[in-house]
Amino acid sequence: MRYIISICTLFIFQISFSQSHSDYGMVKVKSAQTQNTFGYNAGYYVEFQNNSKKVVDGLKWEAKFYDNFGDLKGTRDGQWQSGNFTKPISIGGTTQDLETVWVEGATKVFIRIKTVHYTDGTVVKRN
């Protein structure tokens, strides 16, 4: 019985701290892929979906980069904003962004949204 409890506890702990995207404020990270060149992460693509009832015109996030063994290789901040040529993310809509970074040995990227800015001026920040 003690063995089973130990295994279950370890399993739950592993799931709780596994690497994954972290959505926030009804904005979801649909996907993120790294772009590797000669063993370096030269950038990444990220796609967001707006599941809120407001139009989004700005996002800030933290990107964590890992290798295939799960070792953290680096952390970078990223942001997206609508403007003259980039439309805001409509209700239910999606947008993609390409960020340029240089992280040696990284093969995976995981996004944690930190701030969501809506067109009505509302800002939702994560602590």
Looking up residue 73, the CATH number of its domain turns out to be: 2.60.40
Q: Is the pLDDT of residue 21 over 60?
A: yes
C-alpha distance from residue 31 to each of 75, 83, 121 (Å): 18, 23, 26
3 in a structural domain = no
C-alpha distance from residue 41 to each of 28, 74, 79, 105 (Å): 23, 10, 18, 7
Note the pLDDT of residue 94. 96
10 in a structural domain = no
Domain that holds residue 106: 21-125
Residue 36 — pLDDT band, cuts 50, 70, 90? confident
Token pair recorded at residue 56: 């989004």
